[in-house]
Structure 1
Amino acid sequence: MLVSLGAFSPLALAQVSSGSEEVVREARPSQSVENVFREEHALFSDRLTIEPGINYSYSDRSQLALRGFLALDAIFLGELNVDTVESHITTFDINTRYGLTDRLEVGLNVPFVYRSTTYQSIGLDFSTQRDSEATVDEADIGDVSLSLSYRLLPETQQRPDVVLNFGVTAPTGTDPYGISLKSDDDQGGNLNYPTELPTGNGVWSVSTGVSALKTLDPAIVFANLGYKYNIEESFDDISGLEDDQPGDVKLGDSIRAGFGTAFALNERLSLSLSYSHEYIMQSETTQPGEPTNKVVGSDANVGVFSIGGTYALNDSTSVVTSLGIGLTDDASDISLTFRMPFQL
């Protein structure tokens, strides 16, 4: 694969003269460039890469509910209710990757999810100055995924490196269906909240996509486009009511796209800026003897701007950090990632 001279270490190309012939030998990219390929594209290294990581995300949502009417277009007569949900999600995962050939790479991701969500609602003891509050915690394995990357076109001076990506996600985490609700009505409040939290989607899903990366001295630019299809699944209970209500769930498929640039500042350090956007389509549920029901509010637009950096501790171990800032209402307010890939 050819890249610009700025993407290599200072002794990137070595020339060896043999008689009247001159042989040009290409050296391996610097560690900082390899880190960018690994995190934003695919490295296709013949060494096993094990990448433990931790991700923390925080979001809060407030919803104002009005039940009444406006008098003289200014005075509200009726009930006023404000609900707030604060969510903390910490994910510990092990991502393992291995390049079977210089064109084919396989990966396995095993996550463990810890969630803590606080629910608040104004109206305790029918007062507009007192809050009801409840916190729910959950810790369990998440959805395990298997990925496959195939290099369609190697990079040249005219075209980027193009890779096709395929993935399968198994519903190994706790699904979100049939979770019962709890109320604090007996304490004078009006808060309803779940008794447990999910750590997975509960359905099998397959994904495909394409990514491209081009080295433009001194920068590296990359972009990706993908589609995720969720397979319809049947459950014994899809309602939070006391009685079981079996049905089928078809989670909304999603389309994602992203682009960004990275700078290999030296042989060990690189910085990156990127933006990713995902549109999640509306979900549907079907119960026996009833028509398909679209879940109102289940579609979402998730836009995230990320600032990242990698630093190579040595030839086999690196430190990767990333700060994501949500730019849409459906995205997490903030997301912080810390990873440490090392090669065997």
Structure 2
Amino acid sequence: MKKRILSAGLLLSLTVTAQAQDRQVVDAVARALETQGVMTPKGKLEIEPSFSYSQNTSDRISILGFTQVPTLLVGIIEAEDADLTTFTWGLAARYGLTNRIELELRVPWVYRYDKFTRLVPTGGNGGDETRTFTSNGGGLGDVEAAIRYQFNLESAPFWIGGLRVKSDTGESPFDKELNNITRVYDDPPTGSGAWALEPSLTMIYPTDPAVLFGTAGYTWNMEADAGVDIDSSNGESGNDKYDLGDSFFLGMGMGFAVNNRLSFSLGVNHRTVFKSTVNGRKSGDMLQIDSLTTGFSLAMTEKTSINMSLQAGLTEDAPDVQVNFGMPIMF
């Protein structure tokens, strides 16, 4: 149970972070192709409705038993295929405090549909039985706020520092009990359950007709209290403290101007997630998440554009595919 809950919290936290990174890269590259300032101009307000889709599948086989001879296994074999789908609708507001400073607030609404297919032994002569369990539901996700500062305006490369704060407004997997029969959530969580801080540094170097970019940062997940007992070894119920693993990330790529309205970008992203802890004890495994990202930006009018990014997982821990759409509107 502990591994399942920790995995749910990590998956939600990483998916939200990846969505924010993809939107920022596509936006910044598109702006750098047209102007030296890549932040929202002073006194301007930008509203961006967005939609993202994330798909992640995994196969797991559990063997409870022993090997009598090299070709004969005595015991119980359980196979599970997990198919996790997440839809996120978001509304972001960005305001140019100065030509160098940009403020952002993002409110997401998350809907999840999880399906688990298991090969369950029947214990009789009928062999094993395949059973499917589903979990679906939606609600408010974790609200985010960010501030970004562009260090230089006159000459390239442009350096941008950022600080993102993620709240715990979404429903936490650590406050929900698993179904006693299916061992999945009846109503899946919509947030990671913990506050997080993420400082980052981005470099953008326009060199006509391309723009080179790189980004690096660190995500610090704060310790939080669990509403359910995820570690029975302490002899108490509902008093567990968990700390989702911190992580650092690196990304790099380039964007190209096709014409004065259309630009696209290619990039690779890496994130290392350290082990989580429950009541001060390490839990789970270190994760290595690598992905390939491509995106484009199409200017519809002088104040409106359409952004899209597609992210494909390159490692076992990464989501299989993630698609993000956004339509920033400048006021």
TM-score, with structure 2 as normaliser = 0.83
Secondary structure of the corresponding residue to residue 84 of structure 1: strand
- 2:222 pairs, out of 221, 231, 245, with 231
- Asked whether 1:285 is paired with 2:278, we answer yes
- Asked whether 1:334 is paired with 2:321, we answer yes
Which residue does 1:212 correspond to in 2? 203
Which residue does 2:133 correspond to in 1? 134
Deviation at 1:43, TM superposition (A): 2.4
Structure-2 change in CA distance of 1:236 and 1:333 (3 Å): closer
Secondary structure of the corresponding residue to residue 259 of structure 2: coil
Aligned Cα RMSD in Å?
2.3
Aligned AA for 2:193? Answer: G
Greater shift in the superposed pair: 61-70 or 144-153? 61-70
Structure-2 change in CA distance of 1:237 and 1:123 (3 Å): closer
Deviation at 1:129, TM superposition (A): 4.4
For 1:182-221, what aligned pairs fall within 5 Å after superposition?
182-184=179-181, 191-221=182-212
The separation in 1 between residues aligned to 2:307 and 2:103, in whole angstroms, is 21
For 1:37-48, what aligned pairs fall within 5 Å after superposition?
42-46=38-42, 47-48=44-45
The separation in 2 between residues aligned to 1:324 and 1:284, in whole angstroms, is 29
Contact 1:179 1:240 in 2 (8 A): no
Q: Which runs of 5+ in 2 are unaligned?
A: 1-26
Secondary structure of the corresponding residue to residue 179 of structure 2: strand
- 2:255 pairs, out of 262, 266, 291, with 262
Deviation at 1:152, TM superposition (A): 1.4
Aligned AA for 1:224? Answer: T
- 2:312 pairs, out of 291, 304, 325, with 325
Aligned AA for 2:327? Answer: M
- 1:100 pairs, out of 97, 116, 121, with 97
Secondary structure of the corresponding residue to residue 177 of structure 1: helix
Which residue does 2:246 correspond to in 1? 253
Contact 1:178 1:239 in 2 (8 A): no
Secondary structure of the corresponding residue to residue 267 of structure 1: coil
Greater shift in the superposed pair: 88-97 or 62-71? 62-71
Residues matched between the structures, number: 297
- Asked whether 1:244 is paired with 2:237, we answer yes
**CA deviation vs aligned residue, 1:33-59 (integer Å, no higher than 9, x gap):** 644679xx9423232111111000111
Q: Which runs of 5+ in 1 are unaligned?
A: 1-30, 185-190, 287-291
For 1:294-313, what aligned pairs fall within 5 Å after superposition?
294-297=282-285, 299-313=286-300
Deviation at 1:81, TM superposition (A): 1.3
The separation in 2 between residues aligned to 1:200 and 1:42, in whole angstroms, is 30
Deviation at 1:91, TM superposition (A): 0.4
Deviation at 1:231, TM superposition (A): 1.6
The separation in 1 between residues aligned to 2:50 and 2:227, in whole angstroms, is 35
Deviation at 1:247, TM superposition (A): 1.8
Name the % identity. 27
**CA deviation vs aligned residue, 1:182-228 (integer Å, no higher than 9, x gap):** 244xxxxxx52223311111111111010000011211010000011
TM-score, with structure 1 as normaliser = 0.80
Contact 1:145 1:168 in 2 (8 A): yes
**CA deviation vs aligned residue, 1:269-307 (integer Å, no higher than 9, x gap):** 001101111111111111xxxxx221123x322211111
The separation in 2 between residues aligned to 1:143 and 1:34, in whole angstroms, is 27
- Asked whether 1:54 is paired with 2:51, we answer yes
Structure-2 change in CA distance of 1:285 and 1:323 (3 Å): same
Contact 1:59 1:333 in 2 (8 A): yes
Deviation at 1:32, TM superposition (A): 10
User: Which of the pair has the greater relative contact order for Cα pairs under 8 Å at 6+ separation?
Assistant: 2
The separation in 2 between residues aligned to 1:32 and 1:112, in whole angstroms, is 24
Aligned AA for 1:335? Answer: Q
Which residue does 2:16 correspond to in 1? none
